[in-house]
Amino acid sequence: MSQYTADEMMTVAAARQLRDGTACFVGIGLPSTAANLARATHAPDLVLIYESGCLGAKPDRLPLSIGDGVLADTADAVIPVPEVFNYWLQPGRIDVGFLGAAQLDRYGNINTTVIGGDYTDPKVRLPGAGGAPEIAASCGEVVVIVRQSRRTFTERVDFVTSVGYGAGPGDRARLGLRGGGPRTVITDLGVLEADPDSCELTLTRLHPGVTVERVREATGWPLAVADDLSTNEPPTAEELTVLRALEATMRAAA
């Protein structure tokens, strides 16, 4: 199957990132699509956790919101929201947290609060933190899914909603953040990974047909590129078929 969109490539790359048997904190939108794609393909025992309190949800269609009834109907357990954060996230029981971003800097710090102006008089008011600050702090690792552009990949974020590596190496330990932080950022152009020494997001993989130059143009800081830069495999026929079937279930439910 040769025809696919950049968003489909991004979702497939995110799904491939999820290892079978791990517990994954899932938000609605691309993370939910990617996690359900992973569960329907290579990771049947992936544990999906939705912050509405659904642990081990096994939806047969994509949920319309994090509180969709199909999540409660198929979950191993439905628990109160305070327990999601106190008993499951905070002690480090969740391996992977999936986050989006309105702005992201080279250390994976994320803004989903305000853009431009100042906090009390912003140019754009965004939804805010939700569960993200503690997901970013406490999950074993964080995977960010975001479309890449200069507007989003900024030299500085206007507001730190969720901490990545702060100002660089050692900051997470100084702040007492126990989780591993944003190891991987998956975009519509490729994959960036945090360098183990500098903590800086480094381009390690390109999606097929994308050039390094194009990724640089979509990045608001001088982008670090790995010496062993590779190219992702395009979506397989199976991945595309399953992904499209999942997305069709959401359109049908809506």
Partner 1 sequence: MNPVGRGALTNVTNADYVRDKYAGPHAEQRSVGAMTQEAGRLMAKLVPLADGVAELVRDGDTVALEGFTHLIPFAAGHEIIRQERRDLTLVRMTPDVIYDQLIGAGCARRLVFSWGGNPGVGSLHRFRDAVQNSWPVPLELEEHSHAGMANRYVAGASGLPFAVLRGYTGTDLPRHTGNIRSIDCPFTGETLTAVPALNPDVTVVHAQRADRAGNVQMWGITGVQKEAVLAARRSLVTVEEIVDELTPVPGQVVLPGWAITAVAHVPGGAHPSYAHGYSVRDNAFYVAWDEISRDRDTFQDWIERHVQNAGATA
Q: Which residues in this chain contact partner 1 in the complex, by CB under 8 A?
A: 28-29, 51-54, 64-69, 71-72, 78, 80-82, 84-86, 89-90, 113, 119-134, 137-138, 159-163, 166, 171, 175-178, 253-254
- The minimum distance between CB 225 and partner 1, in angstroms, equals 28
- The minimum distance between CB 144 and partner 1, in angstroms, equals 16
- The minimum distance between CB 19 and partner 1, in angstroms, equals 25
Q: Per DSSP, what are the bridge partners of residue 141?
A: 96
Q: Give whichever of 158 and 239 is closer to partner 1, judged by the CB atom.
A: 158
Helices (H), 84-170: 132-138
Residue 245 has a CB neighbour count (10 Å cut-off) of 13
φ, ψ of residue 14 to 5 degrees: the values are -70, -40
The pairing of beta strand 224-231 with beta strand 201-206: parallel
- Decide: residue 171, CB within 10 A, 0-12 exposed, 13-18 middle, 19+ buried: middle
CA distance 134 to 17: 21
Q: Give whichever of 128 and 222 is closer to partner 1, judged by the CB atom.
A: 128
Contact between residue 250 and residue 62 where contact means Cβ atoms under 8 Å apart? yes
- The minimum distance between CB 35 and partner 1, in angstroms, equals 15
CA distance 178 to 91: 9
- Decide: residue 5, CB within 10 A, 0-12 exposed, 13-18 middle, 19+ buried: exposed
Q: Give whichever of 163 and 189 is closer to partner 1, judged by the CB atom.
A: 163
- The minimum distance between CB 180 and partner 1, in angstroms, equals 15
| 51 part of the active site | yes
φ, ψ of residue 207 to 5 degrees: the values are -75, 155
CA distance 18 to 14: 7
- The minimum distance between CB 81 and partner 1, in angstroms, equals 5
Choose the catalytic residue: 8, 51, 134, 200: 51
Q: Give whichever of 90 and 233 is closer to partner 1, judged by the CB atom.
A: 90
Q: Give whichever of 28 and 38 is closer to partner 1, judged by the CB atom.
A: 28
Q: Give whichever of 20 and 73 is closer to partner 1, judged by the CB atom.
A: 73
CA angle, corner 197, sides to 19 and 157, nearest 5?
A: 80
CA distance 187 to 62: 21
Active site residues: 51
